[in-house]
Structure 1
């Protein structure tokens, strides 16, 4: 159902998928639905170009929820920001030199530019606790590795395309590794288990001894 280039598709018996084709619009809609949720909404799951809206069929209907969403303005005010999470990083990643070479920057400038912005969690995916962080300096935009690693250590801080991210556990991966952190991103004994939820603000702190060369 199109409205302002917005499409709403049924997804199972108790969800709709809002297709926006644009991350910024996904974040804006996620923000307004978080701040002013329609009746019956029980969960929101953003992605790069879509927003999954899960609802309670006993409290609302797909038609009513769809009508509420398509009537909202295409551009909305941001939701109240979440607390800031600061993450200490040792910039000793295996791909730091490759990132510097690809961008034409020195190692020190890569680190400076990576720690300068305040990031926002756009969405989660790939693995439990893995957050796609937006707000990275465009100068650090690099492609994924041509040959993904079979094992990336837990806590690896990485960049790929316009995103930065942290591997919450050991896993295969093709992002460019620039450093590592000891912070625990996924803990089943924590509520919620994920430290970095959509909308969370993040800053990286350079803990590298002696600083990068």
Structure 2
């Protein structure tokens, strides 16, 4: 872990892999110190926003260092306590067959692998409520489409690289679309607008036709 200054009220912790980042974020969340206002994970960083009146940046840096040193133990506890959500999916996306072909497997096997894997929300990006979901149960490495679509419908379930994600609203996109869900991913009228937040566990299930 490398800790960098980020203005007068934040620190940026950098990591060498997505797995490290997820593990560290869970550890920081589980042991959040008073004065840590917000933790914002990304693919290889975690931003820690600090209230200087309650915690100095020097103290926050020490907290990050100490907590990360114990990340493995804390992460094991956090894994069992993580919030979870199940997303029903109709696996009939326009890229389902071509994605299976890219992987050298059948459509049924692709659906089985995707729906049986346990996914974790690594971070939110691209659009409000768009969760980047990663899993150690799969070995997907899916290239983006050569040409992005000008409008991907809300609820589309896609694959790109090692991630799966669900488009929270209609928007341009280049992910390989393998299915759709009727679940509302982003609703500003809710106390927590995003249905999926960093650290959550996500499972997909095959929806009835």
Deviation at 1:172, TM superposition (A): 0.9
CA 1:155/1:198 → structure 2, altered by over 3 Å: closer, same or farther? same
CA deviations over 1:41-60 (Å, ceiling 9, x no partner): 01100111000001111111
2:146 counterpart SS class:
coil
Structure 1 residue 37 corresponds to structure 2 residue 32 = yes
Q: How does 1:118-129 map to 2 (within 5 A)?
A: 118-129=118-129
C-alpha distance in 2 between matches for 1:32 and 1:75:
5
C-alpha distance in 2 between matches for 1:136 and 1:116:
12
CA deviations over 1:127-148 (Å, ceiling 9, x no partner): 0000011116534321111111
Query: How large is the RMSD of aligned CA atoms in angstroms?
Result: 1.5
Can you give the 5+ residue segments of structure 2 that lack an aligned partner in the other structure? none
Q: TM-score, normalised by structure 1?
A: 0.91
Q: As a proportion of its length, which structure holds more helix? A: 2
For these two proteins, the number of residue pairs brought into alignment is 204
CA deviations over 1:19-62 (Å, ceiling 9, x no partner): 11211111121111111112210110011100000111111111
Match of 1:76 in 2: 72
Match of 1:54 in 2: 49
- Asked if the contact 1:81–1:199 (Cα under 8 Å) also holds between the matched residues in 2, the reply is no
C-alpha distance in 2 between matches for 1:24 and 1:56:
28
Match of 2:192 in 1: 192
Deviation at 1:149, TM superposition (A): 1.0
Structure 1 residue 91 corresponds to structure 2 residue 103 = no
Deviation at 1:68, TM superposition (A): 1.8
Deviation at 1:83, TM superposition (A): 2.8
- Asked if the contact 2:96–2:107 (Cα under 8 Å) also holds between the matched residues in 1, the reply is yes
CA 1:114/1:198 → structure 2, altered by over 3 Å: closer, same or farther? same
C-alpha distance in 2 between matches for 1:140 and 1:20:
22
